[in-house]
A and B are shown apart, each in its own frame.
Chain A
Amino acid sequence: MTERVFIDKELYSKQSFLPMLFGKDTCILIIKYSEITDPADFYKQINENTRELPFIIDMDIDPSEDQINWLIRFSFSPSYYKNDSEFILMISAENKKLNDSLLLQGYTSINLLNKSLLSAFHFGKLFGYVHVNDKQGLRDLLITGFVEKDMGTTNVGIDDLLGRIELYHQLKILSAEKKDLETQVINLSQELENHKKYLDIALRQKETEHILDFYHKQYEVLPLWYKKIGHLIKIILGRRKIKSL
C-alpha cells in the first residue's frame, strides 16, 4: 500500500528534512491559499522555477470568483500534484461555486479533501488528518503541524507513524465496538432486571402455593368436628365472637 504524505508548507520550511523521513517521492506540500499574497507572482514562480516538491492548495478561505480563477490557473501547473489527472484540493467546507468552476474547466475527477470530514490524528508532536482514499485503497496523511514550535530531534519514522495511525484506527473501531457493547450491557441489564422481577413473582407465587399447601395439609384436612371444637374454644377464650360463626 503506497502512502502519500502531505506536509504543510510552513512546517516544511522549518523542518525540510521531513520528506527525507517519509520518503521524498511520497511527499507533497500543502500550500494555504490565504498565504498567497501575490497570486500572479506565485503563478509565475510555480511554473518558471524548479520546485523541490509538488504541491496542492488548501483552500482555507471562502474564495471569490477571482480567487477561484487563480486556483484553476495554479492547478494547470505541472508542479500541482495530480494522481492520474485527478485534481486534489484541500477544503474546509463544501463550495458549489468552486466545484462548478472546476467542472467547467474540464475537471471530471476532483478529489476534495474536506478537513471537517477527515479523521484528525494527534500523536507525539505531530498532528493533522488522515484521508482514506476508498477508490485506490490508499491512506493519505496530511500533516499540518507540530504541537511545539521547536521539534528538536524527534525521530518519528514512517513505520512508527503509520503504526500509530493504524493503532489510532483500531482504537476508533474498538471505541465503536465498546459503545455497542455498552448499549448491549444496558439492554441486557434491563432484561435481567425484568427476569429477576419475574422470578421474584414466580418465587412468591410458589411460596403462596407452599403456604396454601401447608394450610391445606395442616388445617383443611382436619375433621369438621375438630374444627368446630376449635371455634368453641376460641369463643370461650374470648378470641372470637359467636356472631362470626
Chain B
Amino acid sequence: MKTVIIEYKYYEDQDPNPGICEDYMSNFGAKRIVITNHSNHISNSTDTVFLNHTNQGKDIGAKLLGIDYLISTNTDVDNLILLHDKKSPHSPLGNYWYQELTSVFKSPNVNFSNQEIAKSNTGIVCSSTYIKAEYNKATKQFDSANGEILKLLMQQYNIVPPMPYLYVAGTIMFCKWEPLKKFFTNFSALDIRATLEKGNVQDIGIGTRTHAWERFFSWIITSQGFSIKGI
C-alpha cells in the first residue's frame, strides 16, 4: 500500500526538514508533500516535496495544494495522511486537540489504524474524540456559522453525505485516496483553493469557506459510501 503524507507547516520556528510526525511516520509514508508559508526549504530526497504556498485557506488551502500536486503529476497513491502543525491558539484545548488528532499515527494505535484503513468500507481513520456532527434534525439546520456555505457547497458539488453529517474536526486523518481522487479529478483543487479566504481566518460568528471545506473534506469521502472509523 502506498501512503502519501500531506502536511502543512504554518509555523516557521519548527525545524523545516523533519516532518511533524517524522519519528513514527517514516515507516509507512512512501512520499511526503510538505506545504509551508516560508521559503528556504530544500528537499534532500525525491520522496519529499516542498511547496511554498501563499497564506490562503489555512491548512485546507495547503492540503488542497498537496492534493492538486498528486493529481496533476498523476502520482500513484493508495492512502493519504493529512496533517498540519495545529496549535489553535484561539482554543484553550488547542494542544490537546492536536495530540488527540495525531494519536492515530502513534504507537500503539498506528497498527490498528493501518488495519482499519485497509478495510474496503473504511474511508477515514481518525481520533474518535474529534468526529463531530453539527446537523440538528429538529431545525434541519447546521448548528454552525458555516451552515449556509455548507448547503451551497453540497448543492454546487452535488455531494449528499449520509446523516448525521459526521466530519473530522481538524482535518488530521488517515484516509483513502480513491474517493478524493475521483472528486478532485472532476473539480480542480486549485480552483477550489482560489475561493478560500486569505490569512488566519476564524469562523466565530461568521462562517468561512475555509471552515466549510474542513467539514466538506470528510463528506467527499463519506458521500461515496465510505465510513469514518474513530480510534
Q: Is the CB of A77 within 8 A of B39?
A: no
Beyond A47-B69, A48-B46, A78-B40, 12 extra complex contacts between A and B, CB < 8 Å: A40-B73, A40-B74, A48-B43, A50-B42, A69-B191, A76-B52, A78-B43, A80-B52, A82-B39, A104-B195, A105-B194, A108-B198
B50/A78 in contact, CB under 8 A: yes
CA distance A105 to B43 in the complex (A): 24
* B-facing residues in A62-107 (Cβ within 8 Å): 69-70, 72-73, 76-78, 80, 82, 85, 101, 104-107
Cβ of B51 within 8 Å of any chain A Cβ, yes or no, is yes
Interface magnitude class on chain A: 20 to 34
- Asked whether A47 lies within 8 Å of B72 as measured between CB atoms, the reply is no
Is the beta-carbon distance between B54 and A49 smaller than 8 angstroms?
no
For residue A125, which residues in chain B have a CB less than 8 angstroms away from its CB? none
Known: A40-B74, A82-B39. A106 touches B53 (CB 8 A): yes
12 contacting pairs across A/B (C-beta < 8 A): A40-B72, A43-B69, A43-B73, A47-B49, A47-B51, A50-B42, A50-B43, A69-B190, A70-B72, A72-B190, A73-B190, A108-B198
Query: How large, as a class, is the contact surface on chain B?
Result: 20 to 34
A43 touches B72 (CB 8 A): yes
Q: A residues within 8 A CB of B73?
A: 40, 43-44
Q: Is B68 an interface residue (CB 8 A)?
A: yes
Chain A hits for B46, CB < 8 A: 48-49
Least CB distance, A48 to chain B, in whole angstroms: 5
B96 to chain A, nearest CB (A): 30
Q: Which residues of A contact B40 (CB under 8 A)?
A: 78
Does B55 reach chain A (CB closer than 8 Å)? Answer: yes
Contacts of A43 in B (CB 8 A): 69, 72-73
Instruction: Provide the residues of chain A in CB contact with B69, threshold 8 Å.
Output: 43, 47, 73
Contact of A69 among B39, B61, B188 (CB under 8 A): B188
**A73 and B72 in contact, given A78-B42, A101-B194, A105-B194 (Cβ under 8 angstroms):** yes
Contact A105:B74 (CB < 8 A) given known A47-B49, A78-B39: no
A76, closest chain B residue (CB): B51
